[in-house]
Amino acid sequence: MTNVRFWPWLAMAPLALVSLLWSPWLAAAFALLFLWGLRDFSQRRHAVLRNYPLLGHLRFLLEYIRPEMRQYFLEDDEDKHPFSRNQRALVYQRAKRQNDKRGFGTLKDLYSGESDWLCHSTTPRHADPSTFRIEVGGPDCRQPYSLSVFNISAMSFGSLSRNAILALNGGAQRGGFAHDTGEGSISPHHRAPGGDLIWEIGSGYFGCRDAEGRFSPERFKEQATSAQVKMIEIKLSQGAKPGHGGVLPAAKVSEEIAATRGVPMGQDCISPASHSEFSTPTELLQFIARLRELSGGKPVGFKLCIGHPTEFFGIAKAMLETGITPDFIVVDGAEGGTGAAPAEFADHVGMPLRDGLRLVHNTLFAIGLRQRIKVGASGKIVSSFDLLRVLALGADWGNSARGFMFALGCLQSLSCHTDECPTGVATQDPVRQRALVVPDKATRVANFHNQTVAALAELIGAAGLTHPSQVRPGHLMTRDGDGRAVSFARSIDTLPAGCLATVDARADALPEPFRSCWGEARADRFAAVS
């Protein structure tokens, strides 16, 4: 008991006795600290506290505040964990319409392997951001939608607070862009501001399910025919945890969430890992056609994070065999995710955005359907250059989730899964979410969108272009593995147009993964690697 590590604890007893001479309150405090140390010494859960009574709590305190200490005092401006200080600052400045310029040159290492840049033109042109709209809707669509080039990515009510949803949709209404509902369905807070909605339907069919959890055509039609719903998006997988279902514990299923999702209170709200309405690529396309008809001819597509290339190739073959095509496809990158995800899924499952986006674009181009199907991209898009990069890789538009969370005031505390969000964005705690003042944050959401699109117009004009649809891989440069500057057009594969436009087409002469996976793809089953 004489070991020096116990001295701070044992000193509390004589200090309590001595302090009785001048302050009973101080004596009581020292006595309580002694008893607290005694509890630490005798407990069996924490080895550190048994060896370091009282002092051991400093370790837990420092561990608890480590993220904040690192973020505020130690983090480099360009460290991306997952977003750098400069990325967050850019969003904050644009959301508040503050000066977003930089002085004294770039802080980036332009000779690193992560350096990409735009090839500007000696004859720049004026690009009007008000024209940056994308017409979404194929030949079977009777109500096409003019979509902004930059929109709010899927985040459900339940993962985000009531006030966050109100502010996001209010910003979308003011800025003239679209708000993806996420798979948690359309809540009253999505409806109240009146902003355009992309209704995401996940495997739980929330908002369009019957009492047994099956898809309900009647409930779907009731919601989908609303004028506020502009597009319908079937969620096959998400970048945060592709191939994994979800559970909202019963304790978090409030009366409001239960009513929105159409689930009973007092039970876990389960999103299965796969859909029950289809099990093959052909059945997926038939489901798309069914939803398009039930919605009155609105654009219907799907979102996925690419897993087995064979499975996406199977969807492409099903398009050729059936003649049914989605109106759009949203590619989510494995780097995405605003909610809770198992560490292994967040770190090691799913194809990153750039690779997945290029695979989808090349596949649609090769089967001769790229002009018929629009492609969106989602994955760490917070700046106009992030948006420009995905356009160069083949996207028609970009979505952002965490960028718009920053516009709401998110400070990247990484506590989305704890219900303890310090800014009221990702929480259902009524006290915490009151910190988010809806009118102010709705304005910031609109500002962030408008300022980002305006900055994109400046970039596009600098390249000698007038519209996002004109951006090609050759407009960007990057560095290869040897540090040499090469065009995006040379660093990525591009397939010949229509080279896979027939059902019996062969891919022997094409690059991977087409050469090894195209022949295995089936329209009648989601065939994984054998």
On whether both 294 and 381 belong to a single domain, the answer is yes
Q: How would residue 106 be classed by pLDDT, with cut points 50, 70 and 90? A: confident
- What percent of the chain stands above pLDDT 90? 68
Claim to verify: residue 263 and residue 393 sit in the same structural domain: yes
Report the distance separating Cα 348 and Cα 84, nearest Å. Answer: 21
- 180 and 322 housed in the same domain: yes
pLDDT at res. 306: 94
481 belongs to a structural domain: yes
- Torsion on CA atoms 407, 413, 419, 423, rounded to nearest 10: -40
67/134 same-domain check: no
Instruction: Tell me, yes or no, whether 186 lies in a domain.
Output: yes
Average pLDDT over residues 286-301: 98
Which of 74-83, 156-165, 231-240, 313-322 is predicted most confidently?
Answer: 313-322
Given a cut of 90, whether residue 198 has pLDDT beyond it is yes
Mark residue 471 as left, alpha or beta (left: phi above 0; alpha: psi -120 to 50; beta: remaining). beta
Q: Tell me the C-alpha distance between 473 and 72, whole Å.
A: 37
Q: What is the CA radius of gyration of the chain?
A: 27
Query: What digits encode the pLDDT tens for the residues 327-339?
Result: 999 999 988 665 6
Amino acid 350: pLDDT: 87
- Interatomic CA distance for residues 353 and 239, integer angstroms: 9
What pLDDT digit, counting tens, does each position of 10-35 carry?
999 999 999 988 899 999 999 999 99
**1 confidence band (pLDDT: 50, 70, 90):** very low
Distances (CA, A) of 73 to 68, 69, 77, 85, 411: 8, 6, 11, 11, 14
What CATH number does the domain containing 460 carry?
3.20.20.70
- The reply to whether 296 and 219 lie within a common domain is yes
Same domain, 203 and 297: yes
Query: Which is higher by pLDDT, 238 or 208?
Result: 208
Based on the fold, state whether residues 15 and 133 are members of the same structural domain: no
Read off the DSSP letter of residue 157: B
Q: Are residues 161 and 48 in the same domain?
A: no
* Residues 137, 56 share a domain: no
pLDDT band at 78 (very low <50, low <70, confident <90, very high): low
CA distance 500 to 271: 35
Whether 2 shows a pLDDT value over 60: the answer reads no
Q: Which domain holds residue 226?
A: 129-518
Q: Which of 40, 59, 74 is the last residue of a domain?
A: 74
What pLDDT, on a 0 to 100 scale, did the predictor assign at position 510?
95
pLDDT of residue 340: 66
Look at residue 124 and tell me if it is in a domain: no
Domain boundary among 74, 103, 118: 74
Select from 74, 91, 110 the last residue of a domain.
Answer: 74
**Interatomic CA distance for residues 525 and 137, integer angstroms:** 27
Instruction: Report if residue 433 sits inside a domain.
Output: yes
Identify the residue whose tokens are 């009118």: 439
Shared domain check, 140 and 34: no
Quick check: 415 pLDDT over 90? no
Mean pLDDT of all residues belonging to the chain: 91
Determine, yes or no, domain membership for 81. no
Question: What proportion of the chain, given as a percentage, has pLDDT over 70?
Answer: 95
Predicted confidence at residue 75, as pLDDT, reads: 67
Asked if residue 9 belongs to a domain, the reply is yes
Note whether 208 and 61 are same-domain residues.
Answer: no
* 154 confidence band (pLDDT: 50, 70, 90): very high
Is residue 101 predicted with pLDDT exceeding 90?
Answer: no
Statement to judge: residues 42 and 153 lie in one domain: no
Reported as a pLDDT band with limits 50, 70 and 90, residue 96 is very high
* Number of separate domains in the chain: 2
Pick the residue with more confidence: 3 or 136? 136
Tell me if 110 is assigned to some domain: no
Backbone phi and psi for residue 141, each to the nearest 5 degrees, phi listed first = -95, 130
- The single-letter DSSP state of residue 71 is I
**Distance between CA 4 and CA 52 in Å, rounded?**
10
- What pTM, to 2 d.p., does this model score? 0.88
Residues 6+ apart with CB under 8 A from 210: 216, 219
Cα maximum dimension of the chain: 96
Asked if 261 and 204 count as a contact pair (C-beta separation under 8 A), the reply is yes
**Distance, CA of 88 to CA of 86 (rounded, Å):** 5
Condensed to tens digits (0 to 9), the pLDDT of residues 348-395 reads 888 999 999 999 999 999 999 999 999 999 989 999 999 999 999 999
What digits encode the pLDDT tens for the residues 465-515?
999 999 999 999 999 888 899 999 888 888 999 999 998 899 999 999 999
